[in-house]
Structure 1
Amino acid sequence: MTDTAPTDTTMAAIAEAVTAGRSGDPDGARTRLLALWEEITPTGDALHRCSLAHYLADLYPDAAQALIWDVRALDAAAALTDERAQNHHASLQVAGFYPSLHLNIADNLRRLGSFDAAREHVEAGRARVDALPDDEYGALLRRALVEVGEAVEQRSTEARPTAPTA
């Protein structure tokens, strides 16, 4: 968050829940995020919806449940503006969200055996990698897109060992 931006209590609550999930309490994190979703509503702030749905998807080991939240995150990103994202943090660009969003959808579709649809999302993610930073995070996403693409071509439905829910 920038020094001049007011504290966004919803984003702070999302971050707290994500931290809990990554610290070994995925059920508690999922419960907290679902309660926040009820407050945000499906037509609420696009940054809140996109962030919450993106992180919540990672808390579901079941590909179908994760896919529902990943699609919600992608839909919210379409309604998100750079201005709104940068109001939260000056470095954010909505274009940089898309490679990860498409990657997650592709991976879930692949795990469900929908290889053609998965391939389309891998390609959509690859088409937007130029929006990623040239850092460790960008490299991680680029590698993951290659990994998922290879798994799609192999028609593998196995969970990736490097996936967030692994």
Structure 2
Amino acid sequence: MTDQPTADPTMTRIIEAVQLGQSGAPAQARALLTALWDELGPAGDALHRCTLAHYLADLQDTTEAELSWDERALAAASELTDARAQRYLPALQVQAFLPSLHLNLADCHRRLGNVGAAREHLAHAREHLERLPDDPYGDSIRAAVGDFVADDPTDHRRR
């Protein structure tokens, strides 16, 4: 089994747009990802929709818009199977996506003052921590969940 992703033109486009946003062109990255979302449509590949929505959330100007994209990422993850994810990258497990997705939702709800919803998503994130890989990414998500304060509106961590 290989640790390298399988060639996937849509994932390549997503990654290129994300890198563009990280290099200082968030508006251009947002436009590219939004156009790709429109191409995929609501019945598009769940891996593509989950990945795209997860990264597109980070490029939003408002917490409300960010929340909407985070909700779309979680909805797509609920439709995604390990078999599909592993066709792209053999090590992927959908359950390992859930701590980060729920943590992002908890963060949005906390910033919006929805303390109950923030705590609920934080609890869901904690439920899935054992699915995280034992690597720097997994360690960072575990630490963020451990540090998260659901009712502190000044805490702006995202993973």
Both proteins in one fold, TM over 0.5: yes
Matches of 1:38 and 1:4, distance apart in 2: 24
Kept in 2, the 8 Å contact 1:2–1:88? The answer is: no
Shift of 1:146: 2.1
Matched residue count: 158
In the TM superposition, 1:24-43 aligns within 5 A as: 24-43=24-43
Alpha-carbon offset, residue 90 of structure 1? 0.6
The aligned counterpart of 1:157 is 153
2: CA distance, partners of 1:3 / 1:122: 31
Question: What's the CA shift for 1:4?
Answer: 8.8
Instruction: Describe the superposition over 1:68-96 as per-residue Cα deviations: whole angstroms up to 9, x where unpaired.
Output: 00000000000000010000001100010
Q: Is the 8 A contact 1:17 1:29 kept in 2?
A: yes
Q: Structure 2: how far apart are the matches of 1:95 and 1:63?
A: 25
- Residues 87-127 of structure 1 show CA distances to partners (whole Å, capped at 9, x for unaligned) of 00011000100000000000000000000110000000001
The root-mean-square deviation of aligned C-alpha atoms, in Å, is 1.6
Cross-structure match for 2:127: 127
TM-score by length of 2: 0.94
CA distance in structure 2 between the partners assigned to 1:36 and 1:9 by the alignment: 12
In structure 2, what is the Cα distance between the partners aligned to 1:2 and 1:132? 16
1:48-84: CA deviations, max 9, x gaps? Answer: 0000000000111421110000000000000000010
Conservation of the 8 A alpha-carbon contact between 2:46 and 2:76: yes
Q: Percent identity?
A: 49
